[in-house]
Amino acid sequence: MYFDTYFTGIVDFPGNSIPLIGAFRLDLVALSVAIAIFGGWAGMMCLTRAEKLAAANDVGSGTLWKVAGALAFGGAIWGMHFIGMLAFSLPCGISYDFLTTSISIVPAILASLTALSVVSQQQYNLQLRLMIGAVLMGAGIGTMHYVGMAAMRMPAILFYDPRYVALSVIAAIVLSYISLAVVEYGQRQTSYRRFRQITAATTLGLAVASMHYIAMQAAIFYPIIEAGSQTGRLDDVILAIFVGLGTLVLAGGVATAAFAARLKESIRNLANEARQRSAAEREARADQARLQAIFDTTIEAIIVIDKLGVIRQWSKSGHRIFGYTAQEAVGQNIAMITNGISVAAHRNFIKRFEETREARVIGIGREVVGRHKDGTVIPLDLSVGETRIDDEVLYTGILRDISKRKEIERELRKATRIKEANEMKANFLAHMSHEMRTPLNAILGFSDIMRAQAFGPISKTYVGYSEDIFSSGNHLLSLVNGLLELSKVEQNIQDLELTDIILQTLISDAANMVQKHAEKKNLTVSVLVDSDLPETVNTDRGKLYQVLINLISNAVQYTPAQGRVTIRAWPGNRNVNIVIEDTGIGMTEEEIDLAVKPFGQVKNAFTSDLSGTGLGLPIVHAFVEQIRGELKITSRKGEGTKVKVIVPISLEKELIKEQTATG
C-alpha cells in the first residue's frame, strides 16, 4: 500500500516490476546539510532580533527581521532540497519541471514566516507558541519537499511508503520544536548563549535534512516506458544553475530585508537617542535652574574660589551680607571680605591643606570675622567644602551672618548677669531684713511706749522725739518690706494662689483700710460697683488686694484736703474693669514713667512733706501682670489721676489657655 505521487490516494502497484535503486553523492549531501544548518542559523538569529525589537515596541523593524528570517530559512529549505536532489541519481535519469521547481519555494517561505510570527508573540503561552511554530515549520519543510518531489520528470512512477512519510514529518516537527525551544529558553539566560544558538541552528538544519532524507527513503521508483514531451524540463546542470541563481536572489532578498530592518532600527535608535539627549538636556537645564534658584535664594552667602583664592562664583546673599555685587566680587581675591587676613596668607592656608590634608576650616567649619564693603566687621559662621572638576580644584564656602545670634548671646549673658545680681540682691535683702527687723521692732516698741507715756508723763519735747522715732521706724520697715516684695516679684518666685472672691467685698475692705486717713484730710471716698458685676472672680486674692490698697492709698495720699477719690467697677467681655480716680496733684507723662520705676518719686511743693518708698507702683505693676491683668494710668497735672486695672474674670481659664497654646 503506497501513496501516489501527488498524495491523491493509496494504491497497489500491479505487476512484478523491480523498483529502481537510487544513489547519493556524499559531497552534495554534506553541502545540502550545511546549507540547511546555515539557513537555520540565519532564521534563528532573525527571530531573536525580532523578539528583542518587539519587546522594545518596535513592531516595524521586528516584522522586517521576520521577513528576512523567513526568506533565509525558506530559501535554505528550498536550496537544501534541490542540492539534495542533485546528490540523488537513478539509473533511468532525472529531470525537473521548471514551474513546479520554482513554486515549491513558496510554501517554505510562507510556512517559515508564519512560524516565526507565531513564536514571537510574547503575549501567549510559550509552550503553545513552540508547539504551533514547530508544526508550522515541520509542515512547511514537508510541503516544500513533496512539492519539489512532484517536479521530478523521469521514466518511472513515484510512490511513497506511508510509514516513512509519517516518520519524515514527525522528525521535522520534533527537531523544529527542539531548535525553537533552545532559542526561546536561551533568551532568558546569559551563559553559553553562543553555544545554544549554534545548537539551535544545527538542530533546525538537521530537521530539514532529516525530513528530506527520511522522505527520500519513503520514495519508491518503478520504471516505465517513457512517453510524452520533454519540453519545460531541467537537467542536472541547468537545475544546479537555477538553484544557484535562486539562492543568490534569495540571499539578495534576505540582505535587503536585513538592511531595511537595520536601517529602520538605526533610525529608531537615533530617534530614541535624540529624545533621550533632549530629555537629558532639559533635565540638566532644570537641574541647573534649581541649583541656581538655591544659589540665589539661600540666606547664606555661597562663594566659590579656586586654589589661588580667586572668587569664581558669588551668590546674591553675598551682596546682601558684604555689600559687593557679583560683578564687583568675581575675579577678586577672597581676602577682600576677610578681616585682617592677606592674600598671601589665604594662599598659604590652601597650600598647606593641599600638602598636608590637615583640615582647619575645610570640611570642619568654624566662626570667623568678615569685613563689609563699608569696613564694618561681620561675625560669620563658615563652612568650606572641596570639589574636584576634572583637574581643577574648587572650594565652596557657605557663610552665614551671625550678627543677630551674637547679639542674642550678649543679651543672654547680660540677662544671666542681671539674674545673678538679682539673686545676690535677694539673698542680701533676705539676710538684712532679718538683721534689720530685730532692732526695728525694739525701736518701734519702745518709741510707741514713750509716745503713749505708758510709764508716766514725759516732756513734750521727748514726746515729739518719740513720735519722730516711731514714724521713721515705720517708714524704714515699710521700705524693707517693699524691697523684699519687689525682689520676689523680679525673681518670679511668688506662686499664684487662685480662689473665687467676691470682688465688691474686696473693694470695700480696701477702701475701709484708708478711710481714717481720708477722714483726717476731709476727703470723700466713693465706691460705685455695677449691678452686673459677676458674683465671684477667680484670681489671686492677696495680690489683687495689695494692688487695690496701694492704688487707693496713693490716691488718698496725693489728693489735697477737700478732694475726692472715686472707686468704680464694672464687667467687660471676659474681664472686670476697676478704676481708682482722684482729684489730686496729677502727673505729666514723664512723671508717670518715673513713678512706675523702683524708687521713682514725683517731687513738687505738695509732695515734699509726704513720705514714700517709691516702690508702690512698681509692685502694683508687677502684681497686675502676674494675675494676667492690665494697668493703665492717665493723669493731667493739677487735675488728678485715673488708674484703670483690668483683670480676667477667671484667671484659671487664662492659665489653661496659655498652657494649651504653648503645648
The domain boundary residue, chosen from 489, 504, 537: 489
pTM: predicted TM-score of the whole model, two decimal places: 0.39
Q: How confident is the model at residue 155 (pLDDT cuts 50, 70, 90)?
A: confident
Residue 386 and residue 421 in one domain = no
Residue 452 and residue 358 in one domain = no
Q: What is the average pLDDT across 426-432?
A: 67
Residue 68 and residue 192 in one domain = yes
Q: What is the CATH number of the domain that holds 441?
A: 1.10.287
Q: What is the CATH number of the domain that holds 598?
A: 3.30.565.10
The domain boundary residue, chosen from 458, 489, 520: 489
Q: What is the CATH number of the domain that holds 375?
A: 3.30.450.20
Residue 305 and residue 373 in one domain = yes
The domain boundary residue, chosen from 373, 401, 429: 401
Q: What is the average pLDDT across 466-473?
A: 76
Question: In 492-560, which ranges are E strands?
Answer: 498-501, 524-529, 537-540
pLDDT surpasses 70 at 636: yes
Is 83 within 8 Å of 242 (Cβ atoms)? no
pLDDT (0 to 100) of residue 608 = 42
Instruction: Select the more confidently predicted residue: 400 or 360.
Output: 400
pLDDT surpasses 80 at 425: no
pLDDT (0 to 100) of residue 642 = 92
Residue 28 and residue 91 in one domain = yes
In a domain, 307, yes or no: yes
In a domain, 125, yes or no: yes
User: Using CA atoms, how far apart are residues 599 and 140, in angstroms rounded to an integer?
Assistant: 119
Instruction: Select the more confidently predicted residue: 586 or 121.
Output: 586
Here the cell at position 625 is 501682670
Residue 204 and residue 224 in one domain = yes
User: Using CA atoms, how far apart are residues 212 and 148, in angstroms rounded to an integer?
Assistant: 11
User: Using CA atoms, how far apart are residues 522 and 515, in angstroms rounded to an integer?
Assistant: 10
Residue 242 and residue 113 in one domain = yes
Percent of the chain topping pLDDT 70: 74
The model's pLDDT over 473-521, given as tens digits with 9 standing for 90+, comes to: 766 766 666 666 666 665 555 578 889 999 899 999 888 888 888 888 8
Q: For all residues of the chain together, what is the average pLDDT?
A: 77
In a domain, 289, yes or no: no
Phi, psi of 187 (to 5 degrees): -65, -25
In a domain, 508, yes or no: yes
In a domain, 276, yes or no: no
User: Using CA atoms, how far apart are residues 564 and 642, in angstroms rounded to an integer?
Assistant: 12
What is the distance of C-alpha 618 from the center of its chain? 55
In a domain, 288, yes or no: no
The model's pLDDT over 355-382, given as tens digits with 9 standing for 90+, comes to: 776 666 666 677 888 888 888 888 888 8
Q: How confident is the model at residue 128 (pLDDT cuts 50, 70, 90)?
A: confident
Is 130 within 8 Å of 177 (Cβ atoms)? yes
Q: How confident is the model at residue 609 (pLDDT cuts 50, 70, 90)?
A: very low
Residue 510 and residue 655 in one domain = yes
User: Using CA atoms, how far apart are residues 33 and 210, in angstroms rounded to an integer?
Assistant: 9
CA 113-116-118 angle, 5° bins: 105
Domain hosting residue 608, numbered range: 495-662
Residue 83 and residue 199 in one domain = yes
pLDDT (0 to 100) of residue 606 = 42
Q: How confident is the model at residue 602 (pLDDT cuts 50, 70, 90)?
A: low
Residue 478 and residue 526 in one domain = no
Residue 350 and residue 457 in one domain = no
In a domain, 284, yes or no: no
pLDDT (0 to 100) of residue 607 = 45
Residue 481 and residue 533 in one domain = no
The model's pLDDT over 331-353, given as tens digits with 9 standing for 90+, comes to: 888 888 887 777 787 777 777 77
* Residues facing residue 310 across a β-bridge: 333
Q: Is 574 helix (H, G, I), strand (E, B) or coil?
A: coil
In a domain, 280, yes or no: no
DSSP state of 361: S
What is the distance of C-alpha 501 from the center of its chain? 58
Q: 3-state secondary structure string, 83-148? A: HHHHCEECCCCCEEEHHHHHHCHHHHHHHHHHHHHHHCCCCCCHHHHHHHHHHHHHHHHHHHHHHH
pLDDT (0 to 100) of residue 176 = 73
Q: For the chain, what is the domain count?
A: 4
Element containing residue 222 per DSSP (H, E): strand 219-223
